[in-house]
Amino acid sequence: MGSYLLKRFAFTVFVAWAALTIMFLLLVAMPGDAVTAKSGEKALGSGIENNIRAKYGLDKPLIVQYGKFFGNLVQGDLGYSIKNDRSVNTDFKETFKTSGRLLLWGGLVQIGGSLLLGFISAARKGSLLDSATTVVSIGTQAIPVFVTGLLAQVFFGVFPSQRGWDWLSFNRFWPEKWYLGVIPNGGWKGIVLPAIVVGIVQMAFLARLLRSSMLEVLRADYLRTAFAKGLPRSRVLIKHALRNALIPYVTAASFALVEIFGIAVQTETVFGLYGIGSKVAEAALIQDAPVVLGLSAIVIISAALVSLLVDISYSFLDPRIRVGEKAAT
């Protein structure tokens, strides 16, 4: 088990490092750097441009900038905006709570919903719920998240409130108070639509995946053994089938959890939430590369940590990874 975890940890560190390097190269090393972009149409004198470069260390060799980027990152310094000198840390402080809450609830919808729907669709194969999950899965894969978000606002916000159907209206403001930092306290309806919009795409996909791996496990010999023991169907399904079906599910969930960070960018914009995602999009619009880089670094590192957690849970699910083979005696 130790060696598996060590391997996964090393892999996570490598992937996060490589991903950060790719972002660094994209944002810093490309011709047409942030300063040229800053100067925009009004051509600044080359002297002024060079002064700005010197100020942000952009005149140094790439490798020095690269070292500095990682050095600062390790110390928790995300860099400075090239447009208004603000620390990216300030942007982060302003936005991370909103994003964190959105991702937490979106992740809960994604994981909780997919477990529930996938399990029930497999146990009741061919039922209405099963078909509905399939339809939603194909649909959400093909419809951009922001369109889902806009349509959700219309059907569960605008139309109901125009007709006075308050019970169906979830288009309230984002919760203002939070209990323990993450549990909505007052105005809780505001979290419902954003969380579902963030979670539903990967939820439907994961539910389908869990369903097919459950159906595969249901044909396994050890399930017949479990029935032959006299166990009730519910126990066979949960203890013996679900537990095994979760193994492929977890691998996919690891990718899905990375993807919801990207989905959150759209969701925040659609619902007008001031989070990391909408901040990044805004920074991209004004070509503020350091802000994009700093906030992306946060996102990449968080995503990598989530993947690592999922990998660790994987090793608990599958003893073949945890415990090596003993010599048969």
**Which residues in 282-301 contact other proteins (CB under 8 A)?**
283-285, 287-289, 292-293, 296, 299-300
Cβ burial, residue 231 (10 Å; 0-12/13-18/19+): middle
Q: Does 303 bind other proteins (CB under 8 A)?
A: yes
Residue number, 9 or 179, with CB nearest to other proteins:
9
Does residue number 240 form part of the binding site for other proteins (CB under 8 A)?
yes
Residue 59 half-sphere exposure toward CB, CA atoms < 13 A? 10
Nearer to other proteins, 23 or 206 (CB): 23
| DSSP summary character for residue 173 | P
Decide whether 47 or 329 has the Cβ nearer to other proteins.
329
Q: If binding is defined by CB under 8 A, does position 102 make contact with other proteins?
A: no
Number of H-type helices and E-type strands within the chain? 15, 2
By the rule CB under 8 A, 23 interacts with other proteins: yes
**Residues between 30 and 89 with contacts to other proteins, criterion CB under 8 A:** 30, 32-34, 37
Note whether 9 binds other proteins by CB under 8 A.
no
**Reduced to 3 states, what is the DSSP secondary structure of residue 118?**
helix
Closest to other proteins by CB, 90 vs 141, is: 141
- Separation of alpha carbons 37 and 54, rounded Å: 16
**Contact by Cβ (8 Å): 99, 302:** no
Residue 207 burial by Cβ neighbours in a 10 Å radius (0-12, 13-18, 19+): buried
What one-letter code names the amino acid at 223?
Answer: L
Q: Is 225 helix (H, G, I), strand (E, B) or coil?
A: helix
Pick from 10, 154, 182, 309 the residue near other proteins by CB under 8 A: 154
Nearer to other proteins, 62 or 143 (CB): 143
Q: Mask 214-233, x = binds other proteins (CB under 8 A)? A: ------xxx-xxxxxxxxx-
Residue number, 146 or 178, with CB nearest to other proteins: 146
Q: Which of residues 159-198 bind other proteins (CB under 8 A)?
A: 162
Residue from 49, 59, 216, 318 touching other proteins (CB under 8 A): that is 318
> How many residues belong to the site for other proteins (CB under 8 A)?
81
> DSSP secondary structure string, 269-325?
HHTT--SHHHHHHHHHHTT-HHHHHHHHHHHHHHHHHHHHHHHHHHHHH-HHHHSPP
Which tokens go with 324?
């090596």
Nearer to other proteins, 166 or 186 (CB): 166
Min dist. Cβ of residue 301 to other proteins (A): 10
Output the six-digit token pair for 8: 């996964």
Our finding on whether 152 is near other proteins (CB under 8 A) is no
* Interface residue with other proteins, options 266, 273, 294, 310 (CB under 8 A): 266
Cα(240)–Cα(262) distance, integer angstroms:
35
Determine the interface stretch with other proteins among 21-29, 55-63, 87-95, 124-132 (rule: CB under 8 A): 21-29
Asked if 317 touches other proteins (CB under 8 A), the answer is yes
Residue whose CB is less far from other proteins, 43 or 151:
151
CA 197 from chain centre, in angstroms, equals: 12
Q: Which of 35, 102, 145, 310 binds other proteins (CB under 8 A)?
A: 145
Q: How far is the CB of 144 from other proteins (least distance, A)?
A: 5
221 exposed, middle or buried (CB, 10 Å; 0-12, 13-18, 19+)?
exposed
**Residue 44 three-state SS:** coil
